[in-house]
Amino acid sequence: MFEGFENRLAVVTGASSGIGLATVDRLLASGARVLAMSRTMGELDSLQSRYGDTLEWMKGDVTQSADLGALSERAHQMGPVDFLVPNAGIAELANGLEVSAFERQWAVNGAGALNTLSIMRERLAKSASVVFIGTFLSQVTFPGLAAYIASKTALKAHARTLAVELAASGIRINIVSPGPTATAIWSSLGLPEDQLSAVAGRVNQRLLPGCFLEPAAIADAIMFLLSPAARGIYGQDLIVDNGYTLQ
């Protein structure tokens, strides 16, 4: 489906659902081998039965250095890593002055993603591509999600400078910032059903097609930035948001 992935090795975290799962699906359909990590296997089992050994799942938590160490060790055995997507993420509703909410979300969304690259650094191929996951909310505001937005925006700032620092080592780094995408992360906010649909209704009004994105639409943008077709693109933040931030 996408060119340049045949027999290459990709590592994806947060692979058990949503955007991570859709990215693993696209990678496998494009001929890549995938080493996937998440705390649960979730919906990966259906991909496992379709693709067999080209998909390997490891149970792990990106906040645990032992788990990241095991991921790196397995990647070493499987061969150089051509593509890395540190996608694992959480979102938590919190008062904007609750600093501990930033620390909890930074541990996964920021430190978790950066530590994944750090530990995989020596496993990367001579020419490798990394896509971090930001958020459309870095462009706007969303009451209740200040700490979430801050964790993702700090990651973006970090990733853009890393893109310069690591370019000479053959590592090309970019960011995809998804807009409102129909995944489990929205229900994980813990809002009662009626409040969640009221939020979704307000969000829908700002989306040009009038509906949330499908995870596959985000996965396609990730695949593009990972691929050789994006070889001239460094340190960019590709916002894929059904037009939410335009108005």
Ligand X SMILES: NC(=O)c1ccc[n+]([C@@H]2O[C@H](COP(=O)([O-])OP(=O)(O)OC[C@H]3O[C@@H](n4cnc5c(N)ncnc54)[C@H](OP(=O)(O)O)[C@@H]3O)[C@@H](O)[C@H]2O)c1
> Residue numbers of the site for ligand X (CB under 6 A)?
13-20, 38-40, 42, 61-63, 87-91, 108-109, 112, 133, 135, 178, 180-181, 183-185, 188
The answer to whether 148 is a known catalytic residue is: yes
Shortest CB 174 distance to ligand X, Å: 15
| Residue reference for tokens 């593509």 | 83
Residues 189 and 93: beta-carbon distance below 8 Å: yes
Residue among 6, 13, 25 at smallest CA distance from 214 = 25
Indicate which residue of 51, 148, 234, 244 is catalytic. Answer: 148
Residue placing its CB nearer to ligand X in the complex, 81 or 219: 219
In angstroms, what is the minimal distance from the CB of 129 to ligand X? 18
Residue 152 · residue 136 · CB < 8 Å: no
For 125, the 3-state DSSP assignment is strand
Q: Which helix (H) or strand (E) holds 162?
A: helix 146-167
Nearer to ligand X, 21 or 128 (CB): 21
Please give the structure tokens belonging to residue 74: 């397995």
Task: Considering the complex, state which of residue 71 and residue 171 has its C-beta at the smaller distance from ligand X.
Answer: 71
Q: How far apart are CA 231 and CA 59, in angstroms?
A: 32
CA distance 157 to 138: 11
Q: How far is the CB of 55 from ligand X (least distance, A)?
A: 14
C-beta of 126: minimal distance to ligand X in Å?
Answer: 28
CB neighbours of 32 closer than 8 A, spacing ≥ 6? 5, 6, 7, 8, 9, 10, 54, 82, 83
Q: Nearest distance from residue 151's CB to ligand X, in Å?
A: 9
Q: Which is nearer to ligand X, 4 or 14 (CB)?
A: 14
Q: Which is nearer to ligand X, 88 or 166 (CB)?
A: 88
CB-CB contact of 23 with 43 (8 Å): no
C-beta of 72 vs 183, nearer to ligand X: 183
- Minimum CB–partner distance for residue 5 and ligand X (Å): 20
Lookup: tokens for 125: 């191929």
Phi and psi at 97, nearest 5°, equal: -100, 5
How many whole angstroms separate alpha carbon 8 and alpha carbon 211? 34
Dist CA 244 CA 92 (whole Å): 21
Active site residues: 148
